């Protein structure tokens, strides 16, 4: 069984898929993978017109811009039963930090609280809300998994992706040392503190390589881009994919930072 679907005749939950800026502009295949997984879990999926969740502005101290983006986000998605993002970083931003943007505003507070309650990271939604126990996918290789900071610490996402990966035919998971340690990306952090960021990702790349895994997985595209870039600059033969791509059976796509002509998994 791959998912708990609605009984015959029952309305499927309406899910608004928040694709995120990076998925939209850098790797749309993650969005398609997320949509497939949600539909396989018995959901009706829609992708409304959307903008940034506001995290870059929030982390830079620009509360006015963050607030404006939060209002747009809430307005675009609040009619859905659930809002799901293939990113612990963006989902964590919404659930954790949106409420503080509207503190002391009775006209908004209840609306924001109701909205944040239905926002989930993708693998957490599949496992914790929809009761998905496995996926119909195969991947011939050894993978290692990086726990992104926001997904882990703000949303408690750790066991869920591993539970789903355990059902992927042919896949072996080899845990890396300090899997839950920051990769050094941190959004604007890597721009403000490039030397510190590089030192952190250098350690992460060494831990990844030490596993002997041929593929790196994670649930946040920003983290994956940062780690993939470092691995490639060091000449390490490790592919990087979003966990949704493997779970959706799209592991043959060109890896992150890999030319299309090299793409297919061997």
Structure-token pair, residue 3? 């998912």
Residue whose C-alpha is closest to residue 98's, from 109, 106, 83, 87: 109
Residue whose C-alpha is closest to residue 215's, from 262, 187, 252, 248: 252
* Predicted local distance difference test score (pLDDT) of residue 100: 93
Q: Which of 31-40, 104-113, 156-165, 213-222 has the lowest mean pLDDT?
A: 104-113
| Residue 136, helix vs strand vs coil | coil
Residue whose C-alpha is closest to residue 246's, from 256, 237, 260, 231: 256
Backbone φ and ψ of 237, nearest 5° = -90, 65
Per-residue pLDDT tens digits for 11-31: 799 999 999 999 999 999 999
Q: Measured between alpha carbons, how far is 244 from 179 in angstroms, rounded to an integer?
A: 18
**Residue 192: is its pLDDT beyond 80?**
no
- The whole-number average pLDDT for the span 151-176 is 97
User: What does the mean pLDDT of the chain come to?
Assistant: 91
Q: Measured between alpha carbons, how far is 263 from 180 in angstroms, rounded to an integer?
A: 28
Single pTM value for the model: 0.91
Residue whose C-alpha is closest to residue 45's, from 20, 76, 17, 6: 17
Half-sphere exposure for 245 (CA within 13 Å, toward CB): 26
83 secondary structure, DSSP code = E
Confidence of residue 3 (pLDDT cuts 50, 70, 90): very low
Residue whose C-alpha is closest to residue 35's, from 26, 46, 24, 21: 46
Per-residue pLDDT tens digits for 30-52: 999 999 999 999 999 999 999 99
Q: Measured between alpha carbons, how far is 233 from 230 in angstroms, rounded to an integer?
A: 5
- The whole-number average pLDDT for the span 139-163 is 96
CB neighbour class for 25 (10 Å; exposed up to 12, middle 13-18, buried from 19):
exposed
| Residue 186, helix vs strand vs coil | coil
Confidence of residue 111 (pLDDT cuts 50, 70, 90): very high
């Amino acid at each position: 069984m791959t998912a708990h679907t609605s009984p015959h005749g029952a309305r499927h939950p309406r899910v608004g898929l928040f694709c995120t800026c990076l998925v939209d502009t850098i790797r749309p295949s993650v969005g398609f993978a997320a949509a497939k997984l949600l539909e396989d879990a018995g959901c009706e999926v829609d992708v409304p017109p959307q903008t940034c969740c506001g995290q870059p502005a929030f982390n830079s101290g620009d509360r006015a811009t963050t607030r404006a983006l939060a209002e747009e986000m809430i307005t675009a998605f609040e009619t859905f039963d659930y809002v799901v993002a293939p990113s612990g970083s963006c989902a964590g931003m919404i659930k954790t930090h949106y409420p503080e943007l509207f503190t002391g505003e009775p006209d908004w507070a209840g609306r924001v609280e109701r909205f944040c309650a239905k926002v989930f990271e993708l693998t957490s939604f599949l496992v914790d809300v929809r009761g998905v126990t496995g996926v119909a996918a195969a991947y011939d290789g050894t993978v290692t998994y990086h726990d992104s900071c926001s997904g882990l610490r703000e949303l408690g996402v750790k066991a869920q992706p591993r539970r789903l990966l355990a059902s992927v035919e042919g896949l072996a998971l080899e845990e890396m040392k300090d899997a839950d340690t920051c990769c050094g990306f941190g959004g604007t952090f890597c721009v403000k503190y490039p030397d510190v960021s590089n030192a952190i990702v250098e350690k992460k790349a060494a831990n990844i390589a030490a596993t002997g895994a041929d593929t790196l997985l994670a649930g946040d595209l920003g983290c994956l881009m940062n780690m993939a870039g470092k691995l490639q600059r060091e000449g390490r033969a490790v592919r990087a994919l979003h966990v949704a791509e493997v779970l959706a059976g799209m592991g043959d796509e060109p890896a992150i930072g890999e030319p299309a002509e090299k793409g297919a998994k061997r």
